[in-house]
Amino acid sequence: MAEPTDEQLKEYADKLPEVYRTALAAFIQIFDDGTAIRRAGTQVGFPRICSEVLEAHPALSDADVKAILDQLINHSFIKDVVPYKGLEDFPGNQFRRYVPTLLGERLFGAVTGVEPVPEAIPALPEPAWA
C-alpha cells in the first residue's frame, strides 16, 4: 500500500468516527496544567484505552474497544505487542499493549494535533578530551 500524503492523511483523519478519535487520544498524556504530550513509540495498555473509550462512550463494551483496536491494527496504524515474556497466549486483554506504527504516528498527529516528542533521548556527545 502506498504511503498517504499529509493532505490525504488529514482528510482521512477528518472522517474518523469519534470512537476511534477517543481510542487514539488515550496515547496522549495530559498533565494537570493542560499540557499534552505524546512520546513516539510509547506502548499503551488495553486497560487505559478501554477506560478512556468507555468513559466517553458508555454504551460500548470491552469487546467493542477490542474491535476498535483490531480495526486500527488491520489498517496498520498500531501494533499489538506483548510486554512480558510468557504472556503471549494469556487469555484476555488486560496485559495487551499497543504501539503506533510510523503511519499511526502520522495519523495521531493529524487527529490530535499533538506531535510526538522523540522516542529516545539524544546520545551524549563524546568528550573532546577523551
Residue-wise pLDDT tens digits, 3-57: 899 899 999 999 999 999 999 988 887 666 767 677 788 889 899 999 999 999 9
Query: Is the per-residue pLDDT at 107 higher than 60?
Result: yes
Burial 77-111 (b: 16+ CB within 10 A, else e): bbeeeeeeeeeeeeeebebbbbbbbebbbbbbbbb
When mean pLDDT is compared across 3-17, 92-106, 109-123, the lowest value belongs to 109-123
Give the predicted TM-score (pTM) of the model: 0.78
**Partners of 80 in the β-ladder:** 98
The answer to whether the beta carbons of residues 40 and 102 sit under 8 Å apart is: no
Q: Which distant-in-sequence residues (6+ apart) come within 8 Å of 35 by Cβ?
A: none
**Partners of 81 in the β-ladder:** 97
